Amino acid sequence: MSFSFSPKLGIDLGTTTVLVFVPGRGIVLNEPSVVAVSTRDNKILAVGNEAKEMVGRTPDEIVAYRPMKDGVIADYRVTEAMLRYYIRKALGKWNLFRPEVMVSVPAGVTSTERRAVVEAATKAGAREAYVVKEPILAAIGAGIPIHEARGHMVVDIGGGTTDIAVISLGGIVASTSVKCAGNALDHAIADYVKKTYNLGIGDKSAEDAKIRIGSAVPLEEELSMVVKGRDHLTGLPRTVEIAGNELVRAVGKELRTIINAMKDVLQETPPELAADIIDNGIVMTGGTSLLRNFPELVYRRTGVKARLAKDAPFCVAMGTGEALKHLEAYKKAIIAKR
C-alpha cells in the first residue's frame, strides 16, 4: 500500500448546504452555501453560518447570496472563495499538504459545468479534484450495493435540484435532474401565504413552516403554527395562524413535478431492472425527502414502495467518504471523465 500524506475530503456542494466529510472523522462541517459580499469593494466578508445570519438583514452595501444555483456554479469567483474557506476550515490551518477532493454534481450536469467544479476546487487548494454524480454518491451513502447486477432507484431531493437515477453495476442506467426541490417548496409556501393572507413572509419563515407543519399528503391530525410577516396592505407587521393541510395544497404543484420526474425515469427503465425496483423499492435521500409522508405520496402516485434512507440529508456526503476510502476501486467506475 502506497502511503500518501495528502489528506482526503469529500464535499457535498449543494445549492443550500455544503457538507464536508473527512474519512475517519465523518462529517466535519455542515454549513449553508451562502457568501456575504460587500458591494463597495467586492470583498468577501463572511461564508456559511455567519453569512446566512445576514440574509435578508443586511445593509445595502452587503449582499448575501448563494453562489450555487440549481446545483451548479452560478458565480465562479465566489464559489472558489467558499470552497477555499471550507477546505481550510475542515483541514485546520496547520495542514501543509494539499488535499484530494471529491465533489458531488447533479446527474444532469454538462461537461462545462463539471469542469467549472473541478477548476474551482483545484484553485481553492485541492491537489486532485474528482467529480461524481450525486445519485451514485447518495446510493453509496445510503448503503445500496451499487456494483450488483440489480436495479436500484435513488431519489435525492436537496435544496435546488431533485436527482433521480436507476443504478445497476455501478453505473447510471436512466436518470433525470429537475430544478424543483426544497427551495421551490419554500417559495410556493411564501406565495400561498401572500395570496391567501396578504402577508409577506421570508424564505426562512416559509422553510420553518414546511419543516414544522408541512406534509406531502393531508394529515388526519391537523398541525398548525403562527407565522409572522408584513401585511401587504398596511405595510405593518402581522401574525396569522396557518394549518398544515393548507401547506399540502400550497406545495402540490411542486410535488407533482418531482413525482412526474420519477415516473419518467421509471418509464425509461429496462423491464428487468424495473422488476428489481419493485422488489427493492425506491430509496429517498436528501434533506427535502424528510417532508412528512413523502414516501407515502411516492407510493400512492407510482405504486412502488419508497423508504427514507438512514441519515437522509447526509447520504451524499457519506457517499463521498465511502468512495474516497476505496478510491482506487471507484476511480474506474464512477469518476466522471473530465
Report the binding-site residues.
159-161
Give the per-residue pLDDT at 184: 95
Report the binding-site residues for ATP.
159-161
Element (H, E) at 157: strand 152-157
Find, among 206, 227, 232, 236, the residue nearest to 55 by Cα.
206
Determine the Cα–Cα distance for residues 26 and 82; give it in Å rounded to an integer. Answer: 20
The Cα angle at residue 307 between residues 302 and 308, in degrees rounded to 5: 130
Distances from the Cα of 244 to the Cα of 69, 182, 290, angstroms: 28, 17, 15
Residue ranges with strand state E in 185-278: 199-200, 224-231, 237-243
Binned average pLDDT, 10 residues per bin, the chain of 338 residues: 68 89 90 86 85 74 79 80 87 80 86 86 89 92 91 94 92 92 95 96 92 94 92 94 94 97 95 94 95 96 96 93 81 53
Determine the Cα–Cα distance for residues 196 and 108; give it in Å rounded to an integer. Answer: 36
Instruction: Provide the CB-side half-sphere exposure for 325 (13 A, CA).
Output: 15
Q: Which residues contact 37 (CB under 8 A, 6 or more apart)?
A: 43, 44, 45, 62, 63, 64, 65, 78
Cell numbers representing residue 176 in the block: 433525470
Q: Which residues contact 136 (CB under 8 A, 6 or more apart)?
A: 146, 165, 167, 170, 172, 319, 334
Give the per-residue pLDDT at 60: 74
Give the per-residue pLDDT at 338: 39
Determine the Cα–Cα distance for residues 204 and 249; give it in Å rounded to an integer. Answer: 19
Give the per-residue pLDDT at 88: 87
Query: Is the whole model's pTM more than 0.85, yes or no?
Result: yes
Cell numbers representing residue 299 in the block: 407510493
Give the per-residue pLDDT at 233: 92
Domains belonging to the chain, first-starting first, are 8-136+315-334 (3.30.420.40), 146-180+252-313 (3.30.420.40), 183-250 (3.90.640.10)
Give the per-residue pLDDT at 333: 56
The Cα angle at residue 41 between residues 35 and 42, in degrees rounded to 5: 30
Determine the Cα–Cα distance for residues 231 and 201; give it in Å rounded to an integer. Answer: 9
SS3 293: coil
Give the per-residue pLDDT at 71: 72
SS3 213: helix
